[in-house]
Amino acid sequence: MEIDVEQYKKDLLAQGAEVVFSKTKNLTDTPFSYCGGCGHGVAHRLIMEVIEEMGITDKTIGVAPVGCAVIAYEFWNIDAVQAAHGRASAVATGIKRTNPEKFVFAYQGDGDLAAIGTAETVHTCNRGENIAIFFINNGIYGMTGGQMAPTSLIGMPSSTAPYGRNPDMHGYPLSLTNLLAQLPGTYYITRQAVNTAANVRKCKKAIRQAFENQKLKKGVSLVEIVTNCNSGWKMTARQANKWLEENMLSQYPLGDIKVPKTDN
């Protein structure tokens, strides 16, 4: 028997149904410019939800990258600036040092953070700046049409390596996150994903931790978020999330990489 959906909703409202999930006020009404199914949208939402839940909306400044998220400030209903390619953590450093009472974060793709911005990323982490870095790793340059990135997997096809990444020619996938964990200036480093509801919940906890850590002034908190780029990978969103699970997560396993030592 077909249920009348509108009637069913009315019945549940009459039984006291309440909203348990709705869009955070920290996202604007501007629709995301991202391809359908792209992980950038979920990453934006989680960061903005955490800022709302912590009550730090007026105390937070974000730095947008070059990459698909270049106009993230149009979507985030908070103060934000946009940095030159790869330089988001350097810009975030300046903002934090001049406004130490603010919560400051850099939001960067893998081409931005781990290719052109490698030097800035390493030195920001080595200086132990009190900022959060959200690193959106989709293993490709999404914005410019799916070129190979340092993070691309071995064998992964892209527009600049159509037969797949060949380590003899192109080198190996770079896990900058693991290298950064070696630096004394990093305080908290974790790798998360947003491809399933369970992973979204865990990722949000990690983002919250990264913001909470800023109060302690103990260095960089970096949350890598492994995401899909279904357009660059030339897949549907559902196929891309499956491919992510089966391929990206063996190269980039999820979980905490560096957690603060508890003093006792």
Partner 1 sequence: MAKIKGFVEFSIEQCKGCELCIEACPFDVLEMSHQVNGKGYTYPLMKHPEQCTGCTSCALVCPDVVITVYKVPTKK
The site for Mg ion (CB under 5 A) is made up of: 109-110, 138, 142
Question: In a 10 Å sphere around its CB, with 0-12 CB exposed, 13-18 middle and 19+ buried, how is residue 18 labelled?
Answer: exposed
Binding to partner 1 by residue 35, rule CB under 8 A? yes
39, 62, 109, 146: which one binds partner 1 (CB under 8 A): 39
State which H helix or E strand residue 226 sits in: strand 220-226
CB 128, CB 219: distance < 8 Å: yes
121 binds ligand SF4 (CB under 6 A): no
Contacts of 131 (CB under 8 A, 6+ apart): 89, 92, 93, 96, 104, 105, 106, 124, 214, 220, 221
Residue 170 burial (C-beta neighbours within 10 Å; 0-12, 13-18, 19+): middle
Of 234 and 238, CB closest to partner 1: 238
Q: Compute the distance between CA of residue 215 and CA of residue 71 in angstroms, rounded to an integer.
A: 28
List the one residue from 56, 81, 84, 200 that touches partner 1 (CB under 8 A). Answer: 200
Nearer Cβ to partner 1 (77/175) = 77
Shortest distance (Å) from residue 21 CB to ligand TPP: 26
196: Cα separation from own chain's centroid:
15
Residue 32, interface with partner 1 (CB under 8 A)?
yes
Residues in contact with ligand TPP, shown as a per-residue x/- string from 119 to 148 under the rule CB under 6 A: -----------------x-x-xxxxx----
Nearest residue (CB) to ligand SF4, 30 versus 182: 30
Rounded-to-integer distance, Cα 63 and Cα 89, Å? 8
Among 62, 109, 150, 173, binds ligand TPP (CB under 6 A): 109
Residue 257 lies near ligand SF4 (rule: CB under 6 A): no
Among 37, 39, 62, 111, binds ligand TPP (CB under 6 A): 111
CB-nearer residue toward Mg ion: 103 or 252: 252
Q: Strand 79-82's sheet: what is its strand order? A: 79-82, 60-64, 103-109, 132-137, 220-226, 186-193, 255-258
Exposed (0-12), middle (13-18) or buried (19+): which is 21, by Cβ within 10 Å?
exposed
Positions that interact with ligand TPP (CB under 6 A): 66-69, 85, 109-112, 116, 136, 138, 140-144, 149, 229
Positions that interact with partner 1 (CB under 8 A): 3, 5, 8-9, 12-13, 15-23, 27, 31-32, 34-42, 45, 194-197, 200-201, 230, 236-238, 241
